[in-house]
Amino acid sequence: MRGIGKTTLAKFVYNINFKRYKGSSFLENIKEHSKQTNGLVQIQKKLLSDVLNGKRVKVGNISEGIIKIEDALSSKRVLLVFDDVDHVEQLDAVLRMQGQFCPGSKIIITTSHAALLNASHQAIKVHNLETFSSNESLELFSWHAFGQDHPEKDYMELSERVVNLSGGLPLALKILGSSLSGKSTVVWESALNKLEAIPNGEILNKLKISYDSLQDEHDRSLFLHIACFFIGMEKDVIVRILDSCGFYTIVGIQNLIDRCLVTIDEYNKVHMHYMIRDMGRGIVHLESKEPGERSRLWNHKDSFKVLKEKNGTQTIEGLVLNMGMHPAYCTPSRNSNEVTLETDAFASMHKLRLLQLSHVRLIGRYKEFPTKLRWLYWNEFPFDYLPNDLTLESLVVLEMCYSSLRQVWKGKKYLPSLKILNLSNSHRLTGTPDFSHVPNVESLILKDCTNLVDVESIGDLKKLVYLNMEDCKNIRKLPKNIFMLKFLETLIISGCSSLNEFPVEMGKMESLKVLQGDGVPIYCLLTTIVEVKLQPRKNPETYWTSYLPCNLVELSLSDCNLSDYDFPRGFGNLFSLQRLNLSCNPISSLPDCIRGLKRLEELSFSQCTRLESLRGLPPVAELIVNGCTSLETVAFQSMSYQPKIILDESNYKLVEIEHYFKLEHIERVDERMINLLSLGKLKATETIMMDSTLHVFKTWMKSRMHPIQGLNEYGIFSTFLPGNEVPGRFSRRSSTQSSISLTVPIRGHLKIQGLNVFSVYAKSNSDSPKNINANVESIPNPIVTAVKFSNENGKNLKWVYVPSFFGVPDYGKDMVWLSHWGLLGSQLLDRGDRVTVSVFTRFEFQVKKYGIQVVYEQEKKMSTREDRIDTSQSNMVLQDDYEAADVISFPIDALFSPSVIAGDFSEPDKVMSGTYFLSNRPEEIVVYRWLWFDDFVTDVEENIGERTDVENLEEEHDGDTKFGDNGSTSRQREGGKAFNFGWNYVVSIFTTTKKIIWKATPDNFRCGGTEGY
């Protein structure tokens, strides 16, 4: 997407990293430069000149340039940025030899054409840019409008209107801020009123570049159709409609996605940024000054005028009219004549294919109505049935939601092309129509037709794939021959509370994949009431599950009053089930039948208030247990990967999620752990205030005092104690150093049991950072520990641990965090290894002291021995030279992979060189959010204390340097520091960058590529 900040962000990353490479080049605006005479050759010359320190190189043609680039880059680490690439030949000219690049080289590509990144270039990582949040937008706008990070007092409401109009687009915020700067509030008010009616031309012209870059008229026309009529609609419905209009919709939409003009959400709906939408509609608006001569009418005033004056032409392909938006409709004194239109207003619209009407009453004969309609959406259709003279033989989609229909049509209606019929919320409808002349319907939607009773004719729809009868509360039985619908894949009967028969033949429906029966009385699933009474419940073969189709992929039985006794031992033949919803049922534990569902991916027990334990869960990808107020324990059969678990504040009794955490009263903690940490004299009756990094636990954690707890997660045991008295024998402790280190001594044949680490912290009296590491910002937890194992043989293992729960000291009081890092049975730590520990806090907290102790185990009798720490050897080592060997070889993806984030500290089979981030909030490991993380993953002994606040970086840059295209610090603060992970990838940033992994240092700024080629 244009204007979202790709180039600005790439410049920022380039500026703070280029000096660490032997060569660098920022090739800006490649798209435009490549259009010039010998443009690609000039780009190659610019690249060679940059990486060869200004040396001019003769290049006769592209092939020669490729060879010379390979020679120049094969022996040196380089940082390259290719900005605004839009064609694969541009990448080939500079990247065809990417396999010959020196290891450690980094390449960033910015593009609005995502398909380019699916080419053959190896190891491409795509990062999508998001629009700004409201707060970020307001800050960026304020820098351009007021020269500060917030609006002036009298301009706050006006500024918020601008932010809403911008849609979070940096380009729009920059242009609008600059144009309004220094103007009075009266001018602002007038300008905003104009913007709401007429979008800013400068912004739209820049956005139009993406539209102009579409390869043919087909894709341009498709884009305009979507911009005018289909935003927010399901992609499958759009495909049905536009395919019938002669479009190749699937490939066309993909082309629009690749150009960042549209997006598809998780519900398969098509979306478009509203400024992109306005750009498309502006193109249509320029077709003619007269609305009736334009190809598409989406503006309700224009549509009403054309129909009222009957001056529409055959140019019109689509029209939208919502009389609810018309002033006459909203006037209390209106009468029916004021809002009535005539059918012959459509007489000249011979090319009309798309018609969307709401609250519209048409009078007259429908013989003049367009006969080539493909899509008719008529919300609140005012008549009892479709007019007999309304010809709809070409219609593919008919949507009449909230209609006044009593019957859809009288007698028989010939609709040979109809694929989708949506009559939702037609509350007067009592029966489905005669479908004998409607042979191709694939989707029938009758949702919330509350008076619908007779649905027998549905059995005639032999090609039906999707049937939705949700909340049809008066339906008592399904069509008798519904089991003969050989193509039916989805059946939704949720809310059909009067349903009392369920055909026994339903089990024969091999095509059925999705069955949603929420709120349906469970006895109706046993075929008929008579059969239920005759069949003994003790016979497992007569359970309701045996009557379900064997190929079900999704089954939803929420609020069906299912108890523990209503489930069989096994789910029989439902071996394909992937999604199961048992929400709002009186279940107390995991039904045995669920344990054997090996393909299950999503499992929901939401609002099961009696549920106490879920043990033996299959390895699902998503577990939903919000609202389970009695739930205490969650445990899985295996943990091949970390599932997503959805909780909320009502889960206040939850104390254990296996492989996540276990929280237990200190009195119930294993005696061996009590001895390891010398907690035998602890008063278990003491209470502390606690908090959690897990958002769902925050409210109930903070609302009460808690007894001292033991926390188990990642193979680490932690407890938080009030005061500053540290149990155990930590004889040498640090209160001044950024880190403390020790070399593990030889203790005969004693095995290393683990590490004990303590820290004493308190709330700071200052609003500014005053920590052992003063550069730490925005830590999501008051206190975090980093541990590193290293030796002369190249061992380089680091762990950064953020506990899920932590103690909160009162003002003026101290808190002790005591933890044991289990190592027994692992080979992670050997004699002679060096152990380095650092402790970090948020700026409102202060670490007072901390220490480390190696714990050993004898063969028969366990004992602990202290290892004295010589703080004279704990001084920070700062290193200025960052060579390839300094770059961590741990794969980037592993940082975000569940096996690393959720893996135990002590699991040797999952450990390789690199940094392990131990937290239950991996989604917040975002480079431009947690600035402190860079200090953790860089060598604790090398770089801590070397950082400079991002706000100071701009002051250090050379006088002739240009930082990006805007003067705001909104994106700077998100981009100040980055992960210290080495990579050999070609990295592409094309629409948003939330996870760029980089080893960054605050060098002086420089922005290459600002000069011509």
For the stretch 158-196, pLDDT in tens is 888 888 877 778 777 777 888 888 888 888 888 888 777
CB atoms within 10 A of CB 717: 22
Helix, strand, or coil (residue 646): strand
- Strands annotated E in 115-245: 124-128
Question: Has residue 453 got a pLDDT over 60?
Answer: yes
Mean pLDDT of 9-13: 81
Q: Of 351-355, 547-551, 907-911, which has the strongest mean pLDDT?
A: 351-355
> DSSP label at 110?
E
Q: pLDDT value at position 90?
A: 80
Helix, strand, or coil (residue 242): helix
Q: pLDDT value at position 119?
A: 56
Q: Residue 944: CA atoms inside 13 Å, Cβ hemisphere, count?
A: 28
For the stretch 649-659, pLDDT in tens is 788 888 888 87
71-80, 300-309, 379-388: least confident range: 71-80
Give CB contacts under 8 A, 24+ apart, made by 60-63.
Answer: 62/93
Percent of the chain surpassing pLDDT 90:
31
322-336, 595-609, 920-934: least confident range: 920-934
Question: Has residue 704 got a pLDDT over 60?
Answer: yes
Of 809, 1013, 802, which Cα lies nearest the Cα of 922? Answer: 802
> DSSP label at 43?
H
Q: Which CATH architecture has domain 204-285?
A: Orthogonal Bundle (1.10)
Q: pLDDT value at position 573?
A: 77
Q: Where are the domains of the chain?
A: 1-112+949-977+984-1013, 134-198, 204-285, 664-885
Quickly state the pLDDT bin for 952 (edges 50, 70, 90): very low
Q: pLDDT value at position 858?
A: 58
Q: pLDDT value at position 98?
A: 62
Q: pLDDT value at position 956?
A: 31
Exposed / middle / buried, residue 771 (Cβ in 10 Å: 0-12, 13-18, 19+): buried
For the stretch 869-897, pLDDT in tens is 333 222 222 222 222 222 222 222 322 22
What b/e readout covers 449-487, taking b as 16+ CB neighbours within 10 angstroms? Answer: beebbebeebbbbeebbbbbbbbbeebebbbeebbebee
Q: pLDDT value at position 524?
A: 57
621-635, 674-688, 802-816, 907-921: least confident range: 907-921
333-337, 546-550, 862-866, 907-911: least confident range: 862-866
Distance of alpha carbon 816 from alpha carbon 677, whole angstroms? 12
Q: pLDDT value at position 533?
A: 35
Q: Of 376-385, 633-642, 849-858, 892-901, which has the strongest mean pLDDT?
A: 376-385
Distance of alpha carbon 773 from alpha carbon 847, whole angstroms? 9
Would you say 428 and 451 are in contact if contact means Cβ atoms under 8 Å apart?
yes
Percent of the chain surpassing pLDDT 70:
75
Mean pLDDT of 704-724: 87
Question: Has residue 732 got a pLDDT over 60?
Answer: no
Distance of alpha carbon 466 from alpha carbon 471, whole angstroms? 16
Q: pLDDT value at position 658?
A: 80
For the stretch 454-485, pLDDT in tens is 999 999 999 999 999 999 999 998 998 898 99
Exposed / middle / buried, residue 263 (Cβ in 10 Å: 0-12, 13-18, 19+): middle
State which fold the 1-112+949-977+984-1013 domain adopts.
Answer: Rossmann fold (3.40.50)
Could you tell me the pTM of the whole model? 0.72
Quickly state the pLDDT bin for 420 (edges 50, 70, 90): very high
Tell which wins on pLDDT, 912 or 485: 485
Quickly state the pLDDT bin for 63 (edges 50, 70, 90): confident
Question: Has residue 905 got a pLDDT over 80?
Answer: no
Question: Has residue 402 got a pLDDT over 90?
Answer: yes
Q: pLDDT value at position 995?
A: 26
- Strands annotated E in 525-581: 554-556, 579-581
Average pLDDT over all residues of the chain: 76
Quickly state the pLDDT bin for 546 (edges 50, 70, 90): low
Q: pLDDT value at position 44?
A: 85
Tell which wins on pLDDT, 75 or 813: 813
Tell which wins on pLDDT, 600 or 136: 600
